Amino acid sequence: MTRHKRLICWSEKAWSDYLYWQEHDKKILGRINKLITEGLRDPFSGTGKPEPLRGNWQGYWSRRITDEHRQIYKATDKQSNKIATIAKSITLDTR
């Protein structure tokens, strides 16, 4: 059985958010790392309640980082190179 590795491609905003969490909240950073690891194994199930997005974000998926933060990503398979594009992290307006 051949196993393909999935590559991560970060958007500029997502990478900036990731660097922010490295400096400001190690607990959230740990959660993000766990979601990334699980998403590389199986982008469509697991921790964080993965769900497909609709509208302008159709084709992307969301996982819960916390009650108010989400990881937005897209899993593709281009020429046998599986790529997980982490588009952004968002904060929900919970007001």
Q: What is the pLDDT of residue 95?
A: 45
* DSSP assigned state of 43: T
CA 51/CA 6 separation, integer angstroms: 19
Give a yes or no: residue 1 inside a domain. no
Q: How many domains does the chain have?
A: 1
Q: What is the pLDDT of residue 1?
A: 45
Q: What is the pLDDT of residue 21?
A: 93
pTM of the model: 0.79
Q: What is the pLDDT of residue 47?
A: 92
* DSSP assigned state of 45: S
- Provide the residue range defining the domain that includes 45: 6-90
Is residue 50 within 8 Å of residue 40, measured between CB atoms? no
**What residues in the chain have per-residue pLDDT under 50?**
1-2, 80, 95
Give a yes or no: residue 50 inside a domain. yes
CA 3/CA 44 separation, integer angstroms: 18
